Chains A and B, each alone.
Chain A
């Protein structure tokens, strides 16, 4: 072959090789790093049409509203546990560390962690958006029909419950 064609062939092969490598590495990495999102009722009842329930030990994300009065702290350490809810059953989240600034009872949060048993999640990270009216969009969808009153619009009298 002429050197010019040879060079072009080499270049094309290199691009294809690199792209295949990149895509393969990406799929491999994706397989390990995709975390499915559940709401508490999806976690208990299963997700989608086939009602697939997560397995114990699976990494996942859960999003819901923190149940008022459910936050329990360990007096000696930073261990904390709280319940999450959307429309149905409760799910317990346990966590050790500092909760985000906007973590409050009644507030929507997302926790990333591992399923410990059917209704308990050991969280490695708890996220609350820096916006007091924030609700995870998935939770908002699950809660469709139930009106969420942002704290800023609540009357002081009704805000005391």
Chain B
């Protein structure tokens, strides 16, 4: 019953989304206020029904209703209750429903929190979000129905959740990532609505900015969680593989980062208008490309869902319609938009423009690197793979000028900046960065490693510069204590996010350079030494979990004879899916991780073990976390909640 109710709720949501896509938009062109006023209740109702559908699916998973195909294939009665809930979005169908729920959620949020927006604009924005909702709810309903039953023949036990997905990271990763992906739909809808009305100015930019920031926050957090999950769960201690699906999430992130920077220029200076709009379109289009790549099966990856050409074709057509339609509108409307503001070559505008160029170049590289093998194969030139070395090399080239510019950017003023006043403070920053970088490396007793030195220098340059800049701004208000309260929350947000980037760069460079790794053959009692740590295999015994068996290894770690920690690594065998999973043992400290994974059993009572010492690897995720916190801080800025002055409201309403 409940399952049918869920199906019905999804159908109702589809009907509401159809109304939402038609009524307010029609009303906006016929100046029908009643129709425009309908947008908000429609958006809220649509969200409510999507939520009911999701709850019904979770109910089916919790009650082990194996007559539902989705439940039978992705859950089992032995699965712990919290994984039964997360299994509801572990499959293609379930994750699509989650995607739809998030989209409806963002739409409802826009409807609820945009009282300051003129009715006409709000109606259009919600209408466009409605159009996108129609596309995805229809996909969920007709192409990948999560409520499908397999009556009258159904299994007595489910096939269990893919063991890879049975991890805390998996509970958090997809919802946050989807919130980010789908969040860019809001910026997209704002851009399209503005294109319809033909009005772009700093007020418009101030309205979009918090939404773009919020989407970027979730996407950053989601990617970071995904990386952390892969590190813990894939068992070989990597944190980024340049896997096509990772790239699919990285592309909208790069475009989104460019967007939030470009929006700053549009808000503060009223320029870069057409550019900002294009970025808002691109960020969402790339989210759709990501959805297509992951769900169509054109690319093979660890993360991709089972392949189905029909679904891929639907998403491709939807993607082309959205991209084609928005670009057409853009081409028709954009030549009438002029940016008047003037600025010199050395100015904040140019620095942010440079930031955008680098981010988009990076995006292009990821795009081509991901899709090139596909074209190569389609052209009949044979199958190829483009792996890590390519991306690493390209990002190595890109990060250096990008980070140098990032250290300089916040110091430069809008419109025009003389070079001489910056020489002294930036000289001090450079010296401080040099001392810091060499100091850290000297304390680790190795200065010769090139990548680590470069990474430390760039990281310290960006970090010290961000700190020094915020101190300078505070002092401009009189004293530091006075300035602390006067500075905008968004300024602190920027500084924190830039420090996050510095931390990330340092983490990547140090981990890449100083990671030590060994695959060893060990018997009980054997000791292996790596990077000064002695790993002793104490015991290996059989495991007995709720839905898995396998072996566990206990290790003691000593350094210079002193006891450091005890490690517990598992090799699980999931009975129903008959798969083996490595649960690595990780001992984490800010300066290093000890990472041990248990490999296969070897002849002669021995075991293969992979031992790794990874300095500074925590800094990578810490950097991502700081960036998201920065975005959160920027969101808290008072000016996004200020009521629009009535004069402007009237003006916009007439536009």
Contact = CB atoms under 8 A, between A and B. Distances in A.
Nearest to A103: B600
B608 A37 contact: no
The 8 closest A-B pairs by CB, nearest first: A98-B599, A37-B383, A33-B390, A101-B580, A97-B519, A29-B393, A33-B389, A98-B608
Interface string B163-175: 0100000000000
A22 B395 CA distance: 11
Interface of B: 162, 164, 235, 300, 302, 342, 344-345, 353, 357, 361, 364-365, 368, 372, 382-387, 389-390, 393-394, 397, 519-521, 571, 577-582, 597, 599-600, 602-604, 608-610
Nearest to B361: A22
A130 B383 contact: no
Nearest to A133: B306
B235 A101 contact: yes
Contacts of B610: 97-98
Contact of A48 (B382, B578, B609): B382
Given A78-B521, A132-B578, A37 B302 contact: no
A36 B520 CA distance: 31
B345 A7 contact: yes
B345 A130 contact: no
Given A26-B394, A78-B521, A73 B602 contact: yes
Contacts of A29: 389-390, 393-394
A19 B389 CA distance: 21
Interface in A65-111: 73, 75-78, 96-99, 101-102
Contacts of A34: 384-386
A108 to B, nearest CB: 12
Nearest to A61: B385
A19 to B, nearest CB: 7
A22 B365 contact: yes
A26 B235 contact: no
B365 A26 contact: yes
Given A7-B345, A78-B608, A15 B357 contact: yes
B302 A130 contact: yes
A35 B386 CA distance: 7
Contacts of A10: 345
A45 interface: no
Contacts of B164: 130
Contacts of B582: 101
B519 A25 contact: no
Contacts of B361: 18-19, 22
Given A18-B357, A101-B235, A101-B581, A33 B302 contact: no
Given A4-B342, A25-B397, A35 B520 contact: no
